[in-house]
A and B are shown apart, each in its own frame.
Chain A
Amino acid sequence: MNDTPQSGITKRDLLSMIGTVAGGTAMFAAMAPLGQAKASTFTGPIKLEGEPRGKKVLVLGGGVAGMVSALELSRAGYLVEVLEYNDRVGGRAWTIKGGDTFTELGGATQTCEFAPGNYINPGPWRIPTEHGGLIHYCNELGVGLEPFQQQNYNAYLHNTEKFDGKPQRYKTIQADYYGHVSELLAKAVNQNALSDVVSTEDAEILLESLRSWGALDSNMRYVKSNASASRRGWDKGPGGGLTAVPIPSEPLDAHTVLQSGMWRSIGGNLSNEHQTAIFQPVGGMGQIAAGFDRAVGHLIRRNSKVTEIRQSESGVVVNYVDTATGQRLTTSADYCICTIPLSVLSQIPLNVSPTMAAAISAVPYRPSVKIGLEFKRRFWEQDESIYGGITSTNLPISQISYPSYNYGSRGPGVLLGAYTGGSMSYELTAQSPAERVRRAVEWGAEIHPQYREEFMNGVAVGWHRVPWTLGCFGMWNEESRAAHYTNLCQMDGRFMIAGEHASYIGGWIEGAVTSALDAVSRLHQRVQAG
């Protein structure tokens, strides 16, 4: 923030004026140059001006990248055909609810037994404010959004090796961490240890801010007090009538807080993509698929497995198999936007330049497992006052996320009982779905003993067993970005690539949206250029 009070008008005043006069879109556009609202590269609805010249575009993959491409190209007047492997659209924008079945590689089929209204998002599950492109399409396509509880101060931090394995409330750890850091820093200021970098005048302000940030007392100490208890929680909370008097709790000492390692969890919630406000579609991510389906579903051929992509100077020819009938089919177009995950595309015969071919083969796919568990009642709400949000743990399940919908309902509830990355994902994926669920229940019961009594059923998706992605999402590193990213995104003859794998927002739908818009714009420019 660099307000300019000298001129008598601050940036905030200016933005508020623009907002009043010209509406929110103009305000957003005006904010970007002022450097305050840099989110994804999405800056507003795309405008493809000029004629499509009767050209046809073949889009491979009916996930979000493919459907954004199809929507915008068809609006601009292009002929569009989409081929999708699954019998549904949406790709990883996917929700599993009661009655749904899922067959993974290896043949195991799960039929979800959740009660009506309960669901799990096996892939992406939340939409940050940062992701303006996806929010734009949700708004446009009638996909309702509701708050996703990313950070719940009443959820737990848990480590089997700390506090005898007893879960700690997030707010307790955060308050004690902030409190002790504030006290230590205040001590350093008062001992003039920072006098070479902090002026006397700033030191006074710093002390005042530390008292506020850390809930310190008048002696700049973090101690048992109403002030600290109002952040970390009370031994007995305030109330009304004769039992009203609150009793503050005793803070953990600095050594314990530091040694717990639980401060690690605070940083994760600070990233742009995890900040409040953050959303989820009402009814699950599958509603995003449904929204696009309403708009472009008629352009999409389902059950179509691409087997070969050949381009020439005159066009692109794609061979595919109807997975329902086994029939071999061919289609063609002037151009092709391919959104097939690179883990799959790298196995499909395709004539592109050696540099693009190398890029397609250079991106390994990340492992991840998500497990949805249904319980007879919402004990996390009823017994523990946890309404949505995430508990983090060093157990192999990594986290438990409580549903950010239907708070207070009396019927069965579904929570996310595991969301893993790393080596544990391989181990869980290697097991049968029933075994994954069984182990998630066993581990989760270490945090919520109610699991044992209340568990009903579960579904488990190991992303390396998902037949149409062979992994969760593309993993880039600095070296592969430098060597291959531009080559991957470059238009190659009549062929282009889009998807989260062709973005710097890997694993998020916004990467799919922004890469599709970028590809569509460049393709349109090419057509305009003749």
Chain B
Amino acid sequence: MIKLQIISGVVGGLALVGALAATAVAQSASPVAADAAAAAPAAVVAVTGEDTYQHVCAACHMPDALGATGAGTYPALASNPRLMAGAYPLYVVMKGKNGMPPMGDMLTDAQVADVVNYVRTHFGNDYTSMPVTPEQVVAMR
């Protein structure tokens, strides 16, 4: 059973709203942000790596982790040798890559570590040694 909640309301959203506002100053009023600024939920509260994968990553990499192709491509994470070392997927999740946004602001240290380790040990990947730790996430923030 996948459980996921979105922190809602002023208290939960404030820290992240502040962080986003700081990065948005150079931009003209964003058509999405200006309307959604009121009290929109901002942070993800997922319990397990699987939760985070299915509610965040799957938007692009798909629920089966096979990716998808249109004018451009979302790479498959399934059976992907680039996940052999945890540092690479950790870096991509934290910093983004090309059009992929950095996800670190939305996720806790544990969520990042858990989702990286989940993908590295599922979908035909079997990289069980040297799991990524929350400390490594902190070091990359």
Contacts and interface: CB of A to CB of B under 8 A. Distances in A.
Interface of A: 85, 105-106, 124, 157, 159-161, 261-262, 264-265, 267-268, 271-274, 305-306, 340-344, 346-348, 361, 363-368, 390, 392-396, 398-399, 419-427, 429-430, 462, 464-472, 475-478, 481, 504-508, 511
Contact of B29 (A272, A344, A395, A421): A272
Given A343-B72, A423-B43, A505-B28, 12 more contacts: A85-B70, A157-B38, A261-B10, A265-B38, A273-B28, A274-B29, A344-B71, A348-B72, A364-B99, A390-B35, A424-B40, A476-B27
Contacts of B38: 157, 261-262, 264-265, 268, 392-394, 398
Contact of A470 (B23, B37, B70): B70
Contacts of B74: 105, 470
A393 B102 CA distance: 26
B8 A395 contact: yes
Given A427-B4, A506-B30, A363 B99 contact: yes
Contact of B25 (A85, A106, A342, A478): A478
B100 to A, nearest CB: 6
A268 B101 contact: no
Nearest to B55: A427
A317 to B, nearest CB: 19
A104 B135 CA distance: 37
Interface in B69-126: 69-74, 96-102, 106
A396 B29 contact: no
A283 B28 CA distance: 27
A340 B71 contact: yes
Give 6 closest A-B pairs by Cβ, nearest first: A467-B70, A343-B99, A394-B39, A429-B59, A344-B72, A364-B101
A271 B29 contact: yes
Interface string B51-77: 000111111101100001111111000
B1 interface: no
Contacts of A465: 59-60, 68
A268 B32 CA distance: 11
The listed residue with most A CB atoms (<10 A of its CB), out of B10, B43, B70, is B70
A168 B99 CA distance: 39
B68 A261 contact: no
B102 A506 contact: no
B34 A273 contact: yes
Contacts, number: 197
B139 interface: no
Contacts of A424: 6, 40-41
A427 B99 contact: no
Q: Is the interface of A mostly helix, strand, loop or mixed?
A: loop
Nearest to B32: A421
B15 interface: no
Nearest to B44: A423
B30 A423 contact: no
B140 interface: no
A427 B9 contact: no
B31 A305 contact: no
A64 to B, nearest CB: 14
9 contacts: A106-B62, A265-B37, A268-B35, A271-B29, A365-B99, A368-B32, A398-B40, A426-B55, A477-B26
A478 B10 CA distance: 26
Contacts of A429: 59-60
A419 B55 contact: no
B122 to A, nearest CB: 16
B130 interface: no
B76 to A, nearest CB: 12
Contacts of B23: 477-478
Given A427-B56, A507-B30, A422 B39 contact: no
A528 B1 CA distance: 66
A6 to B, nearest CB: 37
A347 B32 CA distance: 26
